[in-house]
């Protein structure tokens, strides 16, 4: 297999990509591939021949079905990842262009396609509540909450403690030392001590600015970013309920949790 030939072959022909995608779910006859891909049988036959030459697919001599080789399976996974990433980049291109992405590690930027099934909730300077309202409604139905917050919203401590006390929701938050010290300052010593005794609440402090604010729960992922000037953008919130996005969010949380120290 020649990597340059394979890349050129797939990039220059949507039919070859569609054939790979069709075969990624199992072996198929030419007729079955034709029904799924939608191109002419002649065009599909040419695509199959090219893919066989690169050892990406093979044909069973008895059943006449085409199937991916191990190489083809690996290539199809990578192609699907690239296409998914490009879909996510295109769908939210203004969001990615206008924000600081340095708070997201490279290994998760490579999987930005996991966020393609998201919705961008945007508001205007005249009405700042929309993303916040959507977020709070989703939070209220969560069974566990993990998040990174280098900023402090006035109503978050009360809302989160209400869930921790009343619903016994498991909560883990990573924040900055500045935010942590402000929380302690605004809370009574009795309240702080009560929180320390709660087994379902864990608070961590990180000695850096994460440059990202997000929450992941069993229900959703909410992702907010900073603007290039260092201020947090309160008017845009990327929200997804897909399993892929939630898994992506959990990995981002673990990335920051490993750098933090537990204080509560």
pLDDT digits (tens, 9 = 90+) for 1-33: 656 666 666 666 688 888 988 999 999 999 899
**Residue 2 neighbours by CB distance under 10 Å:** 11
Residue identified by tokens 């020649």 is 2
Q: Comparing C-alpha atoms, which of 6, 1, 82 is closest to residue 47? A: 6
- Asked whether residue 187 carries a pLDDT value surpassing 70, the answer given is yes
Give the separation between CA 64 and CA 108, rounded to whole angstroms. 40
With DSSP H G I counted as helix, E B as strand and the rest as coil, what are the percentages for the chain, rounded to 5? Answer: 50, 20, 30
Q: What percent of the chain shows pLDDT beyond 70?
A: 84
Higher-confidence position of 29 and 134? 29
Higher-confidence position of 16 and 138? 16
Which pLDDT score is estimated for 126?
58
- Asked whether residue 261 carries a pLDDT value surpassing 80, the answer given is yes
- Asked whether residue 103 carries a pLDDT value surpassing 90, the answer given is yes
pTM of structure: 0.81
Give the separation between CA 34 and CA 183, rounded to whole angstroms. 62
Average pLDDT, rounded, for the chain: 85
Which pLDDT score is estimated for 196?
80
Higher-confidence position of 90 and 164? 90
Which pLDDT score is estimated for 27?
93
Give the separation between CA 122 and CA 78, rounded to whole angstroms. 32
Give the separation between CA 22 and CA 32, rounded to whole angstroms. 9
Domains of the chain: 3-81 (1.10.10.10), 93-262 (3.30.870.10)
Q: Which helix (H) or strand (E) holds 31?
A: helix 30-37
224: left (phi over 0), alpha (psi -120 to 50) or beta: beta
Q: Comparing C-alpha atoms, which of 257, 259, 171, 184 is closest to residue 217? A: 171
In tens, the pLDDT along 38-85 reads 888 889 998 899 899 889 999 998 898 999 999 999 988 888 888 889
Q: Comparing C-alpha atoms, which of 244, 210, 237 is closest to residue 115? A: 244
Which pLDDT score is estimated for 165?
61
63-70 contacts: CB < 8 A, separation 24 or more? 63/27, 63/29, 64/29, 64/30, 65/27, 65/28, 65/29, 66/23, 66/27, 66/28, 66/29, 66/30, 66/33, 67/23, 67/26, 67/27, 67/28, 68/20, 68/23, 68/24
- Asked whether residue 139 carries a pLDDT value surpassing 80, the answer given is no
Q: Which residues contact 259 (CB under 8 A, 6 or more apart)?
A: 206, 208
CB 150 within 8 A of CB 100: no
Which pLDDT score is estimated for 58?
95
Give the separation between CA 9 and CA 200, rounded to whole angstroms. 53
Q: Comparing C-alpha atoms, which of 173, 167, 172 is closest to residue 141? A: 167
Give the separation between CA 233 and CA 103, rounded to whole angstroms. 14
């Amino acid at each position: 297999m020649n990597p340059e030939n394979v890349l050129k072959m797939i990039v220059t022909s949507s039919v070859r990509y569609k054939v790979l995608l069709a075969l990624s779910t199992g072996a198929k006859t030419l007729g079955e591939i034709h029904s799924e891909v939608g191109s002419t049988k002649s065009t599909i036959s040419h695509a199959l021949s090219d893919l066989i030459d690169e050892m990406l697919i093979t044909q069973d001599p008895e059943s006449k079905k085409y199937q991916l080789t191990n190489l083809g399976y690996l290539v199809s996974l990578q192609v699907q990842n690239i296409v998914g990433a490009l879909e996510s980049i295109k769908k939210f291109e203004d969001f990615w262009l206008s924000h600081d992405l340095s708070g997201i590690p490279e290994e998760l930027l490579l999987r930005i396609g996991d966020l393609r099934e998201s919705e961008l909730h945007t508001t205007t300077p005249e009405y700042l509540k929309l993303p916040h309202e959507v977020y709070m409604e989703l939070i209220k139905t969560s069974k566990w909450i993990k998040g990174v917050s280098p900023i402090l919203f006035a109503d978050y401590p009360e809302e989160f403690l209400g869930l921790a006390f009343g619903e016994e929701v498991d909560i883990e938050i990573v924040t900055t030392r500045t935010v942590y010290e402000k929380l302690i300052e605004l809370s009574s010593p009795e309240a702080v001590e009560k929180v320390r005794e709660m087994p379902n609440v864990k608070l961590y402090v990180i000695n850096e600015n994460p440059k990202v604010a997000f929450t992941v729960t069993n229900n959703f992922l909410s992702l907010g970013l900073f603007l290039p000037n260092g201020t947090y953008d309160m008017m845009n919130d990327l929200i997804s309920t897909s399993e892929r996005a939630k898994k992506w969010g959990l990995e981002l949380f673990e990335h920051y949790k490993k750098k933090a120290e537990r204080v509560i």
